[in-house]
Amino acid sequence: MSDASLKETYLRLIQINQETFAGGEYDVAYHALSGAIYCAASLKEINYIVEVERLAVQQLAWIDAHDPEYEHSTESSSKRGLPSIYSNLAKMANAKVLIIQNEAKRPPPSIG
């Protein structure tokens, strides 16, 4: 897939995330955001990954304030002894940024 197509897919997934989250479809919104992070990582676009992290944190805060009964809210998840999937996504975004930054610092392999 070309970078241009992957970027377009990322943008569509962010749009789907926004629309489905606004409609209260938090699971669908989460999965669209999750797909977006993989597009961003393939593109090695740190700004996109940071955007996904910001959205995950922002959306979880909204869920916690307005729909704490939702199964993946911080409260509901912690009752099961687990972090929220949105919290995990934010952590994954942070890890993906570190991976990309570390790969950029690594010298290319020697040939010969």
Contact call for residues 55 and 32 (beta carbons, < 8 A): no
Provide the whole-model pTM. 0.91
Mean pLDDT of the chain: 95
The pLDDT assigned to 110 comes to 76
Task: Read off the pLDDT of residues 18-34 as tens digits, 9 standing for 90 and up.
Answer: 999 999 999 999 999 99
Look up tokens 């996904």; give the residue: 52
Task: Read off the pLDDT of residues 7-18 as tens digits, 9 standing for 90 and up.
Answer: 999 999 999 999
| Of 18 and 110, more confident | 18
